[in-house]
Amino acid sequence: MPFQTPDTTTVKTDTTTKTYLALGDSYTIGQSVPENDRYPVQTVQMLNDSGIKFHSPEIIATTGWTTANLQDAINNYQFQTSAYDIVTLLIGVNNQYQRRSQSEYKDQFTVLLQKAISLAGNKTSHVIVLSIPDYSVTPFAKGSNTALIASQIDSFNVINKQIATAYNVHYINVTDESRKAASNLSLLASDGLHYSGIEYSIWGGLLFTQIQKILQ
């Protein structure tokens, strides 16, 4: 039997460990939950488990930040790389809470999204905006005008979605999921205001699915 050359054809795979930058506020930093329960951390864990290797997420976020606070932080931050494989942006609840104007939010969110795109190597398809969650359903908001809060959150989300669409980046609605906390307290953290690791795992799953599609 004649010698046959073995088939050495291989499928080229991307073995580079990827990078993820998460920009935001208390929801992104995971106020009142352990670090491993933060939605950027859970997202990366899902990606790594699926075989898409990521470094630990780089997070620029602090409880109470408005769009202006996030802008200031970015301007003074030393980034670990010049271009990230994935950049997410979730910001605005404190603009609403502090009664900042929607016109100010529109202007500042636009600047932040432009920066996010730049940090993704100008690849708009690698940027994901998350909608603002609705804290009106939480025990913290009890006694407040919850209908007004919900309406204002919706108005701010109209703005960030319009800007995301204009810049052709991805948009994930987590607001609807956040409102399920009205009838499911397990979705809330112990502080009665922020969300639990269970809720963040839902957001992580939505992000995981989107990032999979982006990196296919």
Domain CATH number, residue 46: 3.40.50.1110
Q: How many structural domains comprise the chain?
A: 1
One digit per residue, pLDDT tens: the chain, 216 residues?
443 333 333 334 556 999 999 999 999 999 999 999 999 999 999 999 999 999 999 999 999 999 999 999 999 999 999 899 999 999 999 999 999 999 999 999 999 999 999 999 999 999 999 999 999 999 999 999 999 999 999 999 999 999 999 999 999 999 999 999 999 999 999 999 999 999 999 999 999 999 999 998
> What stretches of 76-174 show up as alpha helix (H) in DSSP?
93-97, 102-119, 146-166
Domain of 159 in residue numbering reads as: 20-215
- Is residue 195 classed as helix, strand or coil in its secondary structure? strand
Asked whether residue 6 is domain-assigned, the answer is no
124 within 8 A of 117, measured Cβ to Cβ: yes
Which two tokens mark 172? 């994930």
Report field, pTM of the whole predicted structure over 0.85? yes
